[in-house]
Amino acid sequence: MAAILLVLFNPNAKAWLMRGLLSTGLFNAGIKKEASNNNAPVLSFSVTDAAGNSINTKDLKGKVVFINFWASWCPPCRAEVPSLYTLYNEMKNDNRFVFLFVNEDDDYIKGVHYLKNNHYALPFYQRTQNVPDDIFSGTLPTTVILDKEGRVVLKHEGMANYNSDNFRQQLKSLL
């Protein structure tokens, strides 16, 4: 009974359990080949990094953009961070890709502390304006991939494992 209560009320315990579920391979995200739709609208929004520099997704045309909306209090977000961290570290030096990890904590300092305390060196951003619902409608975590033209080719709401050779190949196929 104590273990059940721990998992129900402790975000770290819940994230640990969810991370185990992710490792089964049942929660893998994938970019469908038919996802690229030349008629899809190009949507944009702005984020700000920790130094106060603003980035608008429309200015990232020509790059594949990986966007993850997350919060430090969200157990599914915590569960997928290790796979995101591994993916980011393996691809961060390829300038054809841009990674935006957009924090949705009410107090952004909580997000900064979560990453620092868990040794995740991820690029930290906050929204500076409303995001179109086709990109983010409030579900955490949400991961969105924009192709080189800025069109949404993947919108995955909920946790997923992004640390797979298959997913990296799907990202590279968008180049």
What is the per-residue pLDDT for 34?
A: 46
> Domain residues for 53?
2-172
Closest CA to 17 of 113, 162, 159: 159
Residue 54, SS3 per DSSP: strand
What CATH number is given to the structural domain containing 101? 3.40.30.10
What pLDDT score does 22 carry? 67
- Tens digit of each residue's pLDDT, the chain (175 residues): 766 665 566 677 777 767 776 676 666 777 765 455 666 778 899 999 989 999 999 999 999 999 999 999 999 999 999 999 999 999 999 999 999 999 999 999 999 999 999 999 999 999 998 999 999 999 999 999 999 999 999 999 999 999 899 999 999 999 9
pLDDT score recorded for residue 174: 94
CA 54, 124, 126, 165: dihedral to nearest 10 degrees?
100
**Closest by CA position to 68, among listed 48, 86, 84, 91:** 84
Total domain count, the chain: 1
- Report the predicted TM-score, pTM, of the whole model to 2 decimal places: 0.85
**What per-residue confidence (pLDDT) applies to 113?**
96
